[in-house]
Each structure stands twice: as C-alpha cells, then as structure tokens.
C-alpha cells in the first residue's frame, strides 16, 4: 500500500517568508509525528498528534513553528518568518497508534532558506 | 530528559565480516529503545525495538541488538554484513510512560566494502 508522502520534496524560500509543508500519513494511522533533521544529525522531535490534537508539541523550537491536523489525517507544518537556521530536512512519520511504537517515515521535505 | 550517544560516526567494514554499532543512552526514567536504518535516498525504516521481555532483540535483515540496563547500552550487531547494508543507522529512545517524544542519536554511517 501507499506509504507516508510529503510535499513538496524540495522547497527553497527567502529569509522572512512563510512556508507550509504537507504530510499525508498512511491511511488509518492515528498517530503522526514531525521531525527536523539537520545535516549530519539524527532526527529531532518537533510535535506529535494523536488524532486531530497535538498531544506533545514540546519540540517546536519557537512560536514561528505551528502544525495542524484538522481532520486527523493530513498534517501541515507551518513556519513563519523563516530564518536561515530553519534549513533542514523535515520528516513526517505515522503510526497505527501510539502504543505500537512503530513509526513509518516519509521521504522528507528539504527546506532551504536563502 | 533523554540523550543518545553513538560514538562511531563512521564504520567501514569488509563484506561478510561481523559488525557492531554502538549506542549508549542517558535517561532519568525507564525507556524503550529502537534502531532505525536510512538507506541512501530513502526514508527511515525501523530495524528493531526493545519494549520489554528478552534483552536480546532480533530485527529485520539479520540484525540483532542487546539491551544492557546496567551499562545503558543498546548495541546493534550483525554476524555477516552485505554490500546492501551500507546505510546510516540511528539509535533512538523514548520514555516508557507512553511518551512519544523520541530522541535520536546522531547516526553511524556503515560502509560495507567489497
């Protein structure tokens, strides 16, 4: 079946602009996660959704970052007033339910802020 | 808070030789442990996980890992590697209290040489 998809695959934006990154989880998966991976580093947790609600957003670095999952399926990560330090690969993962501890990762969106 | 250390950033090994990728963690609470693999140009894939029970965990592609609570380690091993095992390997932990805030290590690049 279809895996986790993320769009766009690449995004180049200018400093100060607003960007939206989209994640389509595996159908039926109730848990959804966003991570950020900088070059040479492991994924860094940003936020976790169970259904429509953000159950843990402790990893969001500041209030420029926001994520939604209005219908419990597709999620959008929104970054306002982008900074060069936001450049990274943004990864999305989904899980059948949180207690399985089995995350299925998408290919990521590479964000470059110039 | 948790942290994960992968002391070896790169591990070169010849084909059919054994390999061990080291992972140590720090946590004030009990954790669940995971190994993920990232093949070139692909998303992260779960190799194996330790939630409870036997401390020796077997995963996909012939990999296994052993949880050692006293040494706070979860080293990954394979008795005979193949060229196709060339990839980046990430160790990760999360609190065992249904937390979903996964902490990943920086990764180890395994290069299998012919």
B41: Cβ contacts below 8 Å, ≥ 6 apart = none
Segment 14-53 of chain B within 8 Å of chain A by CB: 32, 34, 36, 42-46, 49, 51
pLDDT beyond 90 at A104:
yes
**CA–CA separation, B75 vs B33, rounded Å?**
10
Q: Rounded to the nearest 5°, which phi and psi values hold at A17?
A: -80, 165
pLDDT beyond 90 at A14:
yes
pLDDT beyond 90 at A1:
no
Of B45, B100, B105, the CB nearest to A42: B105
pLDDT tens by residue, B28-83: 888 999 999 999 888 899 999 999 999 999 999 999 999 999 999 999 999 999 99
CB-CB neighbours of B62 under 10 Å: 13
Residue with tokens 């039926």: A28
Judge: B102–A31 Cβ closer than 8 Å, yes or no: no
Specify which residues A22 forms β-bridges with.
A7, A76
pLDDT beyond 90 at B99:
no
- Per-residue pLDDT, averaged over A65-83, amounts to 96
**CA–CA separation, A20 vs A14, rounded Å?**
13
């Amino acid at each position: 079946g279809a895996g986790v998809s993320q769009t766009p695959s690449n995004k180049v934006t200018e400093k100060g602009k607003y960007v939206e990154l989209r994640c389509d989880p595996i159908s039926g998966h109730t848990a959804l996660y966003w991570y950020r991976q900088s070059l040479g580093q492991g994924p860094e947790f940003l936020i976790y959704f169970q259904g429509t609600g953000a159950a843990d957003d402790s990893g969001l670095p500041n209030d420029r970052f926001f994520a939604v999952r209005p219908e419990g399926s597709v999620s959008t990560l929104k970054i306002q007033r982008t900074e060069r330090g936001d450049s990274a690969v943004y990864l999305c993962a989904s899980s059948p339910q949180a207690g399985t501890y089995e995350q299925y990762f998408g290919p990521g969106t590479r964000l470059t802020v110039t | 808070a948790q942290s994960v250390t992968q002391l070896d950033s790169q591990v070169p090994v010849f084909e059919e030789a054994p390999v061990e990728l080291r992972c140590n963690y720090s946590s004030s609470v009990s954790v669940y442990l995971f190994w993920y693999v990232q093949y070139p140009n692909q998303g992260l894939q779960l190799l194996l996980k330790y939630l409870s029970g036997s401390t020796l965990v077997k995963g996909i592609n012939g990999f296994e890992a052993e949880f050692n609570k006293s040494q706070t380690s979860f080293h990954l091993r394979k008795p005979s590697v193949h060229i196709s095992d060339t990839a980046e390997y990430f160790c990760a932990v999360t609190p065992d209290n249904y937390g979903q805030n996964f902490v990943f290590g920086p990764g180890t690049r395994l290069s299998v040489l012919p």
